[in-house]
C-alpha cells in the first residue's frame, strides 16, 4: 500500500476513534441553560400564580417575572462532544457535575431539597411583603428537621414548636443553638415544646395552642467540629400564621431564588395601582423574613431567559451584580437591589420614567 494512502487511512481511523471517544466516553460535567420565566401577576397552567383570599386585593397587571435555570439531571453524564458544544454555546454554561450535585447527591435528594427551599422561600416572601405593608404576622420557632440517629430522634419531631430551652424563652431560631451549645457533650438539655399535632389542631381551630411538653435530651459531640461542641441533632426554623390566605401555585419549580419576585407580586396585589407601570420587569433573588435579598446561582442564564421573554429591567441581587454585568443581554437593564425596599424604590422610578438614577449593576459590583 502506498505510504500516502496508508497515512490517510491511519489518520481517518484515528479521527473516527477520537469521535467515538468523544461520543461514548462520559465526562464529569453538567450543563445549565436558561429556563422558563413565569409572571407572578399572571397565570400558570391555567390558574393564577398568586391566590389571595380573606383580604381586599387589586387587579395588578403587567409583568413581575420570576426566572429559572434548566440543569441536566444528576444521573445524566455528558459526553465530550456535548461538553465542548456547551462551552462554545453563548447561552449555556458547562460546570463540574459536583457543583450542582455535591457529595454524590441523587436526583431525588436534590429535588426534595429544592422543594423544601422553594416552600421556605414562599413563606418568607409572604412575611416580607406583609411586613412591608405593616400587616401583623404571628411567628414562632419550630423544629425544622431532626437528624437520623441523633439524640433528638424520637423525642423531637419536625413541626414541634420550641417554647424554651433550659427555661429560657426562644424568640428566633438562632437562640436554640446558642442555648444548646452552652452545654458540654453528655449533659442534659431541657426543651419545652408544643407538639406538632397539637399546634396543627390549634391552627385549624383558629386558637392558640396551650398543650406543652417538657423533653430532656442528652447532648452529643458534633462530628463536624474540631472543638468540643454539644448538639442534639436538630435544625430550627420559623413558622407563621397569616391573617388571611395566600397561596402560591407554581409546580415543577424548586429552590429559593423566586422569593423576591413572589414578595413583590404579593405586595402588588394587595395595593392599588401597578408597581411596574406597564413595564416588563423580571428578576431573581432569595428573600428572608426581614426583606433582605440574597444571591442566587445561574444569574447569567436567568438574564438571558428574561430578555428572551421580553423583559426590559432585571432586579438583580447586589452580590450577583458583577457577574451578571459581564455579559448583559442587549436591551436589558440590570438594577441592583439588596432589600425589598430597594426593589420597591426602583419600581417607583421605573413606572414614573425617572430611571437616570437607578442603581445599575456594573462589572465592579
pLDDT in tens, 177-222: 999 999 999 999 999 999 999 998 988 887 888 899 999 999 999 8
**Is the per-residue pLDDT at 285 higher than 60?**
yes
Dihedral sign for Cα atoms in the order 86, 87, 88, 91? positive
Residues 42-46, mean pLDDT to the nearest whole number = 90
Q: Is 253 helix (H, G, I), strand (E, B) or coil?
A: coil
Length of the chain: 365
pTM of the predicted protein model: 0.79
Q: Report the C-alpha gap between 122 and 53 in whole angstroms.
A: 16
Q: Kindly state the cell numbers that stand for 287.
A: 428573600
Residues 48-58, mean pLDDT to the nearest whole number = 95
At residue 71, what are phi and psi to the nearest 5 degrees?
Answer: -135, 150
pLDDT of residue 22: 46
pLDDT tens digits, one per residue of 232-265: 999 999 999 899 999 999 887 888 899 999 999 9
pLDDT of residue 5: 59
Q: What's the DSSP call for residue 151?
A: T
Question: Using 50, 70 and 90 to split pLDDT, how confident is the model at 363?
Answer: confident
pLDDT tens digits, one per residue of 117-145: 888 899 999 999 999 999 999 999 999 98
**Is the per-residue pLDDT at 299 higher than 80?**
yes
At residue 260, what are phi and psi to the nearest 5 degrees?
Answer: -60, -45
Q: Which residues contact 199 (CB under 8 A, 6 or more apart)?
A: 159, 160, 161, 209
Q: Which of 261, 327, 257 is nearest to 297 (CA)?
A: 257
pLDDT tens digits, one per residue of 289-298: 999 999 998 8
Q: Report the C-alpha gap between 311 and 12 in whole angstroms.
A: 49
The residue among 26 and 19 whose pLDDT is bigger is 26
Q: Is 32 helix (H, G, I), strand (E, B) or coil?
A: strand
Amino acid at each position: 500500500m502506498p505510504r500516502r494512502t496508508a497515512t490517510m487511512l491511519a489518520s481517518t481511523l484515528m479521527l473516527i476513534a477520537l469521535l467515538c471517544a468523544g461520543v461514548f466516553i462520559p465526562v464529569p460535567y453538567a450543563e445549565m441553560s436558561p429556563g422558563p420565566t413565569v409572571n407572578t401577576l399572571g397565570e400558570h397552567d391555567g390558574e393564577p400564580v398568586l391566590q389571595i383570599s380573606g383580604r381586599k386585593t387589586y387587579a395588578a397587571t403587567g409583568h413581575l417575572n420570576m426566572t429559572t435555570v434548566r440543569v441536566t439531571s444528576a444521573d445524566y453524564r455528558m459526553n465530550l462532544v456535548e461538553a465542548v458544544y456547551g462551552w462554545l454555546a453563548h447561552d449555556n454554561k458547562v460546570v463540574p457535575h459536583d457543583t450542582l450535585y455535591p457529595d454524590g447527591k441523587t436526583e431525588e435528594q436534590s429535588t426534595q431539597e429544592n422543594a423544601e427551599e422553594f416552600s421556605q422561600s414562599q413563606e418568607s416572601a409572604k412575611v416580607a411583603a406583609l411586613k412591608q405593608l405593616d400587616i401583623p404576622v404571628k411567628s414562632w420557632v419550630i423544629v425544622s428537621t431532626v437528624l437520623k440517629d441523633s439524640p433528638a430522634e424520637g423525642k423531637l419531631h419536625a413541626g414541634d414548636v420550641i417554647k424554651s430551652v433550659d427555661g429560657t424563652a426562644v424568640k428566633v431560631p438562632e437562640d436554640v443553638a446558642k442555648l444548646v451549645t452552652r452545654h458540654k457533650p453528655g449533659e442534659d438539655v431541657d426543651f419545652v415544646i408544643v407538639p406538632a399535632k397539637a399546634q396543627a389542631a390549634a391552627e385549624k381551630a383558629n386558637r392558640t395552642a396551650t398543650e406543652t411538653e417538657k423533653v430532656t435530651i442528652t447532648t452529643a459531640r458534633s462530628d463536624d467540629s474540631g472543638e468540643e461542641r454539644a448538639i442534639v441533632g436538630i435544625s430550627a426554623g420559623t413558622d407563621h400564621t397569616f391573617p388571611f390566605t395566600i397561596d402560591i401555585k407554581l409546580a415543577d419549580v424548586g429552590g429559593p431564588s423566586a422569593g423576591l419576585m413572589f414578595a413583590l407580586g404579593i405586595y402588588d396585589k394587595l395595593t392599588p395601582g401597578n408597581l411596574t407601570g406597564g413595564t416588563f420587569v423580571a428578576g431573581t433573588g432569595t428573600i428572608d423574613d426581614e426583606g433582605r435579598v440574597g444571591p442566587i446561582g445561574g444569574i447569567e442564564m436567568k438574564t438571558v431567559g428574561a430578555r428572551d421573554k421580553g423583559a426590559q429591567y432585571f432586579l438583580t441581587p447586589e452580590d450577583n451584580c458583577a457577574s451578571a454585568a459581564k455579559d448583559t443581554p442587549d436591551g436589558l437593564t440590570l438594577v441592583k437591589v439588596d432589600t425589598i425596599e430597594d426593589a420597591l424604590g426602583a419600581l417607583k422610578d421605573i413606572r414614573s420614567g425617572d430611571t437616570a438614577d437607578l442603581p445599575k449593576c456594573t462589572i465592579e459590583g
